[in-house]
Amino acid sequence: MSSVYVHSLFSEFDIDLFKAGKHFRLYEKLGSHPMTLEGEKGTYFAVWAPSAKSVSVVGDFNYWLEGDHKLNVRWDGSGIWEGFIPGVMPGAIYKYKIQSNHNDVKTEKADPFARRAEHPPKTASVVYAADYKWKDKKWMSSRAKYNALDTPFSVYEMHLGSWRKTGEENRSLSYTELADELVAYVKKMEFTHVEFMPIMEYPYDPSWGYQLTGYFAPTSRFGYPEEFMLLVDKLHQAGIGVILDWVPSHFPEDAHGLGNFDGSHLYEHPDPRKGWHPDWKSLIFNYGRNEVRAFLISNALFWLDQYHIDGLRVDAVASMLYLDYSREDGEWEPNQFGGRENLDAISFLEELNKTVYKNYPDVQTIAEESTSYTGVSKPVFLGGLGFGMKWMMGWMHDTLEYFKKEPVHRKYHQNDITFSLTYAFSENFMLPLSHDEVVYGKRSLFDRMPGPEWERFANLRLMFGYMFTHPGTKLIFQGGEFGQSAEWNFQESLDWHLLQYDFHTGIQKCVKDLNKLYKSQPALYERQFRPEGFEWIEWADGENSVLSYLRKGYDAENAVLVICNFTPVPRENYKVGVPEAFTKAGSKVKELFNSNEKKYGGSGDFISKKVKVEATPWNGREHSITLDLAPLAVMVFGLK
């Protein structure tokens, strides 16, 4: 039998923290760690398996023979097995062979804390030692101002495997290739952040990465961990923040994953009413178990620490909050107070956010939460869950429903497009047009738009203009920014060839300029989460399907006026009341943006570069402007 040296990276304090669920840097202790012990090079292994009778490390270095390298169980009841194996070097492939005390069940598992994994469909872990020199000091030292709630926050959401593929090979781009092509594109398009759908290792491509088996390993589909670090680094050097989709809500049953890890319900809740997800046929974490909470929060901090990530978009929060989520009567059990809330999950999310912001106050956590649960983005000390932002799913639904209607019918649905402003400031909302809205028969954003071709493109430009001038931060999924006509297919590249057509390049230029407008006008971001940042001019002109409103920043002179015409009929000599601030600067206001410009694919008509402010009362204001409204267009006016 080959030797395993008794060795530990754990102090008694570490163990106490782990048992209490308060050790949030477990990746420094558990997993595989190349090191030198008493002059010998090798690797220290540590794994949590409290129901195990024995744990062996098996791999290419011992011909996958069980029992050749048995780990030693700690004496302190922590359930941690550990030991140093000489001669095992970075690059070695391994798993844990676990014999359980439960009926001698044997499992063979990937390392939950592995920093690298084999390329799927292979499933083993790889011993890995980080060796990367970061060059993003300038970004990291100043990112607080780019991630603040009163700064522009425009996110390009993307799926690495399908964003762009090489020609003849039809191969997804590698992390290294993306570090050139993606960085240049996102910078050109003026987005402030990029959001990656899950890049943690996952076995099943159709899951899009939302069913994870390697929580600490960037997927090997696109390269090595250092190459993903390079991608993040290059984005930072270009002034672009990086958000990761993070999935603490469920995990798959794959044999090498976390399920039934040591022959027991270790990571998943043992009660299927709390531990099994009927929608996704997957397992749910046991949020009431201290060690599981420590695992998940350590994982969140790991990406912020080791990969310099700027934010985490937490997936499927609604499914975590409610015990009856997707369950019929009799399939769930009320909490101790008789309610439907999952108190353990709520407590976990509160602790997650407190810990993230305590350690990394210059990042953001963003909740994908689709219910009316209150206080998602309120601080924990005020009774909230503590997220920085929440996806505004109601706005997304109402907006897409409104825009798919023929314009002639929109006058009967004015309330649909204005309703979001009744609750827009109840949370720190991000407006998402995400991947979920362009799959499974929902059609692409462009394909939802009604009318002949010019109207469809005009509608899409109008919707983006409405989105960028509505309170809240922004998110657009890949392809939407140039009017991808087909639904998203994770197996295929985006239809970049569409950019040979003027209408599609027009949409792309429009989104680019909306990003520039958003970043250049403080009124659009300084108070994007506060009611003081928005004021209706006219919301009730349903007969003409026109909206007009003000966006306001800290300085009254920075206010911008937004007018949306949701029909293909020009509105001539249309009068709009304006604020007192607009009577300055020679009594003329400038047109800052018009989605009907020729460069965007519009007609180029009804462009008003400057409009005179008149002392004519209108809309309850002492001054007004009169102008011709372009068809199916958004127009933005201001002094600066």
Question: How many CA atoms lie less than 13 Å away from 43 in the CB half-sphere?
Answer: 24
Q: Helices (DSSP H) in 494-548: which residue ranges?
A: 502-520
Query: Which stretch of 30-34, 81-85, 328-332, 500-504 has the lowest confidence by average pLDDT?
Result: 328-332
- 480-487: average pLDDT: 97
pLDDT tens string 26-75: 999 999 999 999 999 999 999 999 999 999 999 999 999 999 999 999 99
Residue 547 is classified by DSSP as: E
CA 203 from centroid of its chain's CA atoms: 20
- Phi, psi angles (nearest 5°) of residue 408: -65, -25
How far apart are alpha carbons 87 and 29 in whole angstroms? 20
What pTM was estimated for this model as a whole? 0.96
- 249-267: average pLDDT: 97
Which pLDDT belongs to residue 588? 86
What sign results for the dihedral spanned by CA atoms 504, 505, 507, 511?
positive
Residue 381 is classified by DSSP as: G
Q: 315, 481, 513, 526: which one is catalytic?
A: 315
Whether 638 has a pLDDT exceeding 50, the answer reads yes
pLDDT tens string 335-363: 999 999 999 999 999 999 999 999 999 99
Whether 585 has a pLDDT exceeding 80, the answer reads no
Which pLDDT belongs to residue 446? 96
How far apart are alpha carbons 474 and 469 in whole angstroms? 10
What SS3 state is found at 108? Answer: strand
What SS3 state is found at 147? Answer: coil
**591 among known catalytic residues:** no
CA distance readout (Å), 268 to 264, 291, 293, 301, 442: 9, 12, 11, 21, 33
> 146, 241 in Cβ contact below 8 A?
yes
Residue 350 is classified by DSSP as: H
Residue 193 is classified by DSSP as: E
Q: Which domains does the chain have, with CATH numbers?
A: 12-127 (2.60.40.10), 531-638 (2.60.40.1180)
What SS3 state is found at 260? Answer: coil
Question: Among 348, 430, 157, which Cα is nearest to 356's?
Answer: 348
CA distance readout (Å), 514 to 465, 470, 595, 640: 7, 12, 9, 16
Whether 2 has a pLDDT exceeding 70, the answer reads no
Which pLDDT belongs to residue 169? 79
Which pLDDT belongs to residue 1? 46
Which pLDDT belongs to residue 304? 98
CA distance readout (Å), 130 to 114, 167, 217, 224, 525: 12, 32, 12, 10, 38
pLDDT tens string 516-525: 999 999 999 9
CA distance readout (Å), 64 to 6, 85, 106: 21, 14, 14
DSSP 397-465: HHHHHHHTS-GGGGGGGHHHHHGGGGTTTSS-EEEEE-GGGGSTTS--HHHH--SSHHHHHHHHHHHHH
pLDDT band at 130 (very low <50, low <70, confident <90, very high): confident
Mean pLDDT of the chain: 96
Q: 14, 310, 368, 481: which one is catalytic?
A: 368
Which pLDDT belongs to residue 207? 94
Question: Among 143, 151, 149, 315, which Cα is nearest to 242's?
Answer: 143
**368 among known catalytic residues:** yes
Which pLDDT belongs to residue 583? 85
How far apart are alpha carbons 110 and 356 in whole angstroms? 27
pLDDT band at 587 (very low <50, low <70, confident <90, very high): confident
Question: Among 226, 242, 196, 209, which Cα is nearest to 90's?
Answer: 226
Question: Among 568, 536, 551, which Cα is nearest to 639's?
Answer: 551
Which pLDDT belongs to residue 13? 97
- Strand partners for 535: 550
How far apart are alpha carbons 475 and 430 in whole angstroms? 7
